[in-house]
Amino acid sequence: MKFFTITALLMGVCLLSGCTGLIDFALNKSISPEVQQAAQSPDSWYTFMPHRAPGFCLRTRHAIVWEDESMDLGYWKGLHPQPPHRVLMEARGNIFILHRRYVWDGNSVGITTPNDLMPSLRHDALYHALKEGAPISRRDIDKAYSADCRQHGSQLSTWRYYTLRLFGGIFNRLGQRNTLIIVPTTPDTPPAPLEPDRPDDPYDDISYTPA
């Protein structure tokens, strides 16, 4: 336990000082060639940004919707912190909508393979919302991540899951803040329109560093 505590503290210092590259190296973090190659297809649902690899180098090209009867996320929207405050994500009970141009970093530990993309995306986005005050539970997010890994054939080892449970909250609290504005809504609030992908989008949109 002392080893884990010291490791968490050292990584926390790295996060606060901005040396995230050292953390990526320590966690053997990388994006697989298959993920990079698939991003080059015009039909790909995500973009790979090599100048940011292996950190926040993946970006969605269109909206993605999850409907999960096992979760109650409440009703809220997550807005981009800069004007015009575009909607990045929204929760509508058991439905979670992640809008286009959301940036994430794949697996926090090890290699991100094609099977890891969807599980890591929803997990990162919900941790992002939790960090900025969304009324959701980290335990429920981690359980959903485990279920997503099984559904998509991602190899979630027992070691990786319990590392996530032990340190996920610590890293999430230490990371960059004020990258999302949480706005409460109601069941009567209409969802934001789903924008189509446009090839002339800016290369980068929002960069979030949860852990």
pLDDT in tens, 144-168: 998 999 899 987 756 566 666 666 5
What gap in Å lies between CA 94 and CA 70, rounded to an integer?
7
Q: What's the pTM? A: 0.79
pLDDT of the residue at 28:
76
Picking from 118, 146, 143, the residue whose alpha carbon sits closest to that of residue 60 is 118
Distances (CA, A) of 22 to 15, 69, 139: 9, 39, 28
The position carrying tokens 């990786």 is 160
The arithmetic mean of pLDDT across residues 127-153, rounded, is: 91
pLDDT of the residue at 16:
41
Please tell me which residue, 8 or 90, carries the higher pLDDT value: 90
What gap in Å lies between CA 105 and CA 55, rounded to an integer?
5
Identity of the residue numbered 69: E
186 pLDDT band, cuts 50/70/90, is very high
